[in-house]
């Protein structure tokens, strides 16, 4: 990857973490301290901060101030952190570790983890509604509405998670897996990109381009996630195109549907398609193009 891109990713990560630290409640406050500690524990652990990178980068395309861009980016990262906490719960994916440390319910307890997730989700909307995010209330309302749709039940992240929980891998066609993944992880990527366009009151044409980029990148991200998971669990058949069962849980993944080699081809094709959607931005899209290549070649 280019040094310029990696240094920008690091720059956004560091500024975002300062912002998150400031927005999260101090963990030494009253009888709720345990809740605040759990929120800080989960959010301030070592995430890649990919979604905030997209929000900050697309905001720059429209000349948005850093104050506004990082508010929106922080809200989106809080929602991402909530989804990870709840996804790790025994009732969902039942994972003991997240970001190299015990998952929130393991470190604290299930009730605290549920409340920490709920509080992060609601804090995110409080931040989006703040006039630091944008002085124009109609822009804030549009942003709140778009984020709510992206992470809700109908067509959004929660709906995708429900499909994932109820569907056995053999029940789903490749189109259905695509829809599931688009809802479960793609919509948050999409709104992370769209946030910059909403804050910048961008033209329809530019928004459509960014949305196309984001959806393709979201699917490419999910495929590379499946590939990394596959390769870390079954190292000796790393290069095989055999169909596998994701984390031994019978989940529908792009690899269960396509096999690993075809899944890799699909990810590469999606990254190319994502870049094609950026034509209208000419050379201003350099960072987003690098992001697409970064997703395709990532190793974590
Ligand atoms: C519980 C409402 C609810 C939704 C959960 C997004 C999601 C739905 C669950 C996450 C589980 C998971 C591991 C999905 C695979 C794709 C994914 C979102 C990976 C984690 O994202 P990264 O790699 O994580 O950006 P970091 O830790 O770097 O932030």
Q: What's the pLDDT tens digit per position in 139-160?
A: 999 999 999 999 999 999 999 9
**Which residue in 63, 70, 65, 90 sits closest to 21, CA to CA?**
70
> Averaged over 277-294, what is the pLDDT?
94
Report the nearest atom of ligand 1 relative to the CA of 50: 25
Q: Rounded distance, CA 118 to CA 202, Å?
A: 32
Is 247 touching ligand 1 by the criterion CB < 6 Å? no
**Which residue in 263, 261, 232, 259 sits closest to 247, CA to CA?**
232
Please name the residues in contact with 300: beta carbons below 8 A apart, sequence gap of 6 or more. 48, 228
How big, in percent rounded to 5, are the helix, strand and coil portions of the chain? 75, 0, 25
- Other residues' Cβ atoms within 10 Å of the Cβ of residue 155: 14
Residue that is written with structure tokens 């990532």 in the block: 298
Q: Rounded distance, CA 131 to CA 228, Å?
A: 40
> Averaged over 270-298, what is the pLDDT?
95
Q: How far is CA 70 from CA 53, 136, 293, in A?
A: 9, 17, 24
Question: 231-267: per-residue pLDDT in tens?
Answer: 887 544 444 433 333 453 567 788 888 899 999 999 9
Is 19 touching ligand 1 by the criterion CB < 6 Å? no
> Averaged over 191-215, what is the pLDDT?
95
Distance (angstroms) between ligand 1 centre and the Cα of 296 equals 17
More confident residue, 167 or 247: 167
Position 246 scores a pLDDT of 44
263's enclosing H/E stretch is: helix 260-276
The protein residue whose alpha carbon is closest to atom 4 in ligand 1 is: 83
Judged on CB neighbours under 10 Å (0-12, 13-18, 19+), 27 is: middle
Is 169 touching ligand 1 by the criterion CB < 6 Å? no
Rounded to the nearest integer, the mean pLDDT of the chain is: 92
DSSP 32: T
Q: Rounded distance, CA 273 to CA 267, Å?
A: 10
CB 271 within 8 A of CB 296: yes
Q: Rounded distance, CA 193 to CA 212, Å?
A: 10
pTM of the full predicted structure?
0.93
Position 254 scores a pLDDT of 87
Position 249 scores a pLDDT of 57
Q: Rounded distance, CA 237 to CA 230, Å?
A: 9
- Other residues' Cβ atoms within 10 Å of the Cβ of residue 131: 11
The protein residue whose alpha carbon is closest to atom 24 in ligand 1 is: 47
Is 120 touching ligand 1 by the criterion CB < 6 Å? no
Tokens of 273: 């398609």
Report the nearest atom of ligand 1 relative to the CA of 49: 29
CB 120 within 8 A of CB 82: yes
């Amino acid at each position: 990857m280019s040094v310029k891109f990696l240094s920008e990713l690091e720059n956004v990560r560091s500024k975002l973490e300062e912002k998150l630290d400031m927005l999260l409640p101090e963990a030494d406050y009253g009888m709720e301290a345990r809740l605040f500690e759990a929120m800080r524990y989960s959010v301030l652990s070592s995430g890649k901060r990919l979604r905030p990178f997209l929000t900050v980068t697309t905001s720059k395309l429209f000349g948005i101030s850093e104050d506004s861009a990082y508010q929106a980016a922080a809200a989106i990262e809080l929602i991402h952190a909530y989804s990870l906490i709840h996804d790790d719960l025994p009732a969902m994916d039942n994972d003991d570790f997240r970001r190299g440390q015990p998952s929130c319910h393991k470190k604290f307890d299930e009730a605290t983890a549920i409340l920490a997730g709920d509080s992060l989700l609601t804090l995110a909307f409080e931040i989006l509604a703040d006039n630091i995010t944008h002085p124009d209330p109609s822009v804030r309302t549009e942003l709140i509405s778009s984020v709510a749709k992206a992470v809700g039940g109908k067509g959004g992240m929660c709906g995708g998670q429900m499909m994932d929980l109820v569907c056995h891998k053999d029940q789903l066609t490749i189109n259905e897996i695509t829809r599931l993944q688009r809802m479960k992880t793609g919509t948050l990527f999409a709104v992370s990109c769209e946030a910059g366009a909403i804050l910048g009151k961008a033209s329809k044409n530019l928004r459509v381009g960014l949305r196309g980029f984001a959806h393709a990148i979201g699917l490419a991200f999910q495929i590379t996630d499946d590939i990394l998971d596959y390769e870390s669990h079954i190292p000796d058949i790393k290069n095989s195109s055999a169909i596998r069962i994701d984390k031994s849980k019978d989940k529908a993944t792009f690899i269960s549907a396509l096999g690993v080699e075809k899944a890799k081809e699909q990810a590469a094709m999606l990254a190319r398609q994502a870049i094609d959607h950026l034509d209208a931005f000419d050379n201003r899209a350099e960072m987003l193009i690098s992001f697409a290549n970064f997703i395709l070649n990532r190793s974590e």
